[in-house]
Amino acid sequence: MEEVDKILIHALKQVGTEVSEETGSVKQFSSELIVEAVVRCVRVIDSGLGGALPTSLPPGMSARFRVGMSLAQACQDIGYKGEIGYQTFLYSNEPEIRSLLMFLVEKLPRESAETSDQPQGKSAVLQRAIAAAIKAQLSVPWLPPNCRLPLHSETQSPGALHRFHVQPLSLPHCSPGKKQLKEVKDYHRDILPPVTAQPSHHASVVASILEQHTAELSAAQEWDNEWNSQGLLSRLKPQEYRSRKLTRLRKRIQEQLRSAAQPSPESALGGPRSTCDLSELLQAFRGSAPSDHILTKGSHFTHTQKFTFTQTETSASIPFVHQSDGDVQLRQQEEQLSLQQQLQQLCSEVDQLTADMKHMTVTHAQVLDELKQRELGNSENVEKMQVKKKTIDLLPDSDDNLEKLKALVEASAKRVVNLASQWEKHRAPLIDEHRRLKEICSKQDLESSKKLSEIKSLHDKIRVSTEEAKKKEETYKQLVTELENLPQDASRLAYTQRILEIVSNIKKQKEEITKILSDTKDLQKEINSLTGKLDRTFAVTDELVFKDAKKDESVRKSYKYLAALHENCNQLIQTIEYTGTILREIRDLEEQIETENGSKTVANLERILSDYKAIRQENSALAAKVREG
């Protein structure tokens, strides 16, 4: 019972009942404590029911009685089936209270104990703590740096915050397939500083390394994704797939550039004119490699423009060195004007020339085409002429030549037939071969597509299983943290051990009981056989003695004695049995007395009497008040 009481008291404490340390069992519970415990449990189980109930007993007797009645009603509403009334609380007896409390504790919702312990949850508490800390920091007045105590410097100085800036790193990559140049190896060995020494600021080391790794990782992942989604379907090797994609892309870019570079009438000046210009432009980029960071966009035309401009300026500025200042200014203005005019003229000339040039190139191409066509016509004509010349040569000896021609035609027809038969001979096996190969090909196609689908499904499976594994890991972690957060004081292990002990005890007791039962059975058997034996021996002896008793007086006496002995023995046995039953009854009665003692009947009776007196007093006082009123 002690264990049960401990569990009950623990649960009641969690609900919020103030059970003092000394009370170790339900026996020691006072009426007030019982009422408080029951009310708190009822409140947790059903806040609507328990809200109206007071946690402590009022002083007035009739009020107490009412509280007891309402409590009993509430317990019955919750579903308590046992006997309950106001007397359960006011005049408590241990087993009833224990069964009531056990019922209530079982009814308690599992979470309620914990939630009542931490009503807001950890995150809310943490956020409140953060807010409080910030408020405290804000309320501290600002101090100039020199006056700061170490306490302040933590919150008021900007601190050692580093911006997450990245600088490029150089890492030696060793790919097994490629052989590295000796110079590269030397560089990596002798000159390349370690990664931690490469960035100019020590603070950006971590940032740079992290950035480099994420960049490489994401590139690898993206490639992996693309290869799994599209690359596998194309049935190419990775390199082939890459190169094909590259050429496709190049083509697209070329088309884009070409369409963008089509000369539109509005943009005659500036802007790239044609693909030819663009390639020159690119050449210029590569060759000159300017040191500023943004590459200036310029065309061939602007370059030439600049060039002519600077040339004319330098050639023009030389003769006017010896003039006076005013003259010089005037001259310069004039010069400028003339130069501008010249420039415009030159510009227009250049425009005209470029237009001319384009026209010329077009006409040149046309002329070239024409020339080619003419040449083709020419060669055809020459062939025709040769055929005609031969026929003219053959004309004089026409009959003979005709015969010859016929023979020739026949021979060639024969040859054609011959060749055709030969071709048939060759053709048949070749066609067979072709068909066979085709079949093999289609089979392989089928197989490969099957394998592809298998690979795809495998990939899917891998993804799904990794996701599952991740989820499970997360749940595992969550459960571990939950386990760690569980209250350790409810010593589960101790309880289970205790339960196991009790179970083993019960087993032992059961064994003993069965032993005793079998013993009593044996005894019963023995008793039965003995009584049987006794009856039989008595009957035999009785007969024998009775026969002799007719003849002999002394024997008659002994017969009387025998009968008396038998009767006396029977009486003795009966008496012993009676004593046994009486002893049993005594024991029963003793037990009853004990239980009655346990339920504190006498004390409760006394209390009932005193309470009765108190109620009568209250009643008489009230009656007196009524009379006075």
Partner 1 sequence: MVVLLSRLPATDCIKFCHRVVDGLCGREPPRRSDHGTTWSPEEWLQLLDSLSAFFRLAVGSNSSEEEVLGGLADVGSSHAEAVLSVLRARREEIRDALLDRTNSISSATLQDFDWQLRLSLSSDKISSLHTPLLSLSLDVREDAALRSVTMEMNREELNTLISSLEAANKVVLQMK
State which residue, 238 or 580, has the beta carbon closest to partner 1. Answer: 238
Q: 268 near 351, Cβ under 8 Å? A: yes
The CB-of-222 to partner 1 minimum distance in angstroms stands at: 6
Q: Which stretch binds partner 1 (CB under 8 A): 51-59, 139-147, 191-199, 375-383?
A: 191-199
259: amino acid identity, one letter: S
Copy the structure tokens of residue 514.
């069965």
Please give the Cα distance from 617 to 268 (Å, whole number).
122
Binding segment (CB under 8 A) for partner 1, from list 280-288, 317-325, 331-339, 408-416? 280-288
Q: Are 47 and 74 in contact (CB under 8 A)?
A: no
Contact 102, 75 (CB under 8 A): no
Contact 32, 57 (CB under 8 A): yes
Q: Which of 3, 114, 216, 222 binds partner 1 (CB under 8 A)?
A: 222
CB of 181 to partner 1, least distance (A): 6
* Nearer of residues 94 and 211 to partner 1, judged by Cβ: 211
> CB of 185: closest distance to partner 1 in angstroms?
8
Nearer to partner 1, 80 or 285 (CB): 285
Q: DSSP code of 598? A: H
* Structure token pair of residue 535: 């009856």
134 binds partner 1 (CB under 8 A): yes
Count of residues interacting with partner 1 (CB under 8 A)? 33
**Contact pick of 122, 163, 426, 625 for partner 1 (by CB under 8 A):** 163
Q: Interface with partner 1 includes 199 (CB under 8 A)?
A: yes
255 binds partner 1 (CB under 8 A): no
- With the CA atoms of 197, 201, 207 and 212 taken in that order, what torsion angle do they form, in degrees rounded to the nearest 10? -50
* Cβ distance to partner 1 smaller for residue 222 or 577: 222
Alpha helices in 91-196 (DSSP H): 94-107, 112-117, 122-139, 150-156, 182-186
Note whether 127 binds partner 1 by CB under 8 A. Answer: yes
* 272 touching partner 1, by CB under 8 A: no
How far is CA 243 from each of CA 237, 249, 323, rounded to the nearest angstrom? 10, 10, 68
Please tell me whether residue 83 binds partner 1 under the rule CB under 8 A: no
Judged by CB, which is closer to partner 1: 128, or 508? 128
DSSP assignment of 295-307, as one string? PPP--HHHHHHHH
Specify the residue, 178 or 550, whose C-beta has the smaller distance to partner 1: 178
Burial class of residue 11 in the structure, from the number of CB atoms within 10 Å of its CB (0-12 exposed, 13-18 middle, 19+ buried): buried
Whole-angstrom distance, CA of residue 329 vs CA of residue 327: 5
CA–CA distance, 619 with 598 (Å, rounded to integer): 33
Residue 566: both structure tokens together = 């038998």
Sequence-distant (6+) residues with CB within 8 A of 397 are: none
Nearest distance, CB of residue 293 and partner 1, angstroms = 4
**What single DSSP character describes residue 193?**
P
Least CB distance to partner 1 at residue 289 (A): 4
Which one of residues 186, 349, 501, 596 is an interface residue with partner 1 (CB under 8 A)?
186
What φ, ψ does residue 121 adopt, rounded to 5°? 90, 160
- Burial class, 208, CB count within 10 angstroms (exposed 0-12 / middle 13-18 / buried 19+): buried
Point out which span in 292-300, 375-383, 462-470, 504-512 binds partner 1 (CB under 8 A).
Answer: 292-300
Beta carbon nearer to partner 1, 220 or 420? 220
Q: Does residue number 615 form part of the binding site for partner 1 (CB under 8 A)?
A: no
- Report the distance separating Cα 559 and Cα 549, nearest Å: 7
Report the nearest approach of partner 1 to the CB of residue 16 (Å): 28
CB 229 within 8 A of CB 456: no
Binding flag, residue 189, partner 1 (CB under 8 A): no
Instruction: Give the Cα separation of 9 and 26 in Å (integer).
Output: 8
Segment contacting partner 1 by CB under 8 A, of 68-76, 222-230, 364-372, 534-542 = 222-230
Question: Shortest Cβ distance from residue 192 to partner 1 (Å)?
Answer: 8
Q: Is 164 in the site for partner 1 (CB under 8 A)?
A: yes
Out of 249, 408, 458, 464, the residue judged to bind partner 1 by CB under 8 A:
249
For residue 159, is it left (φ>0), alpha (ψ between -120 and 50) or beta? left
Nearer to partner 1, 302 or 604 (CB): 302
Nearer to partner 1, 297 or 584 (CB): 297
Among 86, 285, 309, 546, binds partner 1 (CB under 8 A): 285
Nearest CB to partner 1, comparing residues 252 and 443: 252
**Residues engaged in binding partner 1 (CB under 8 A):** 127, 130-131, 134, 163-168, 170, 181, 183-184, 186-187, 191, 198-200, 222-223, 226, 249, 285-287, 289, 291-295
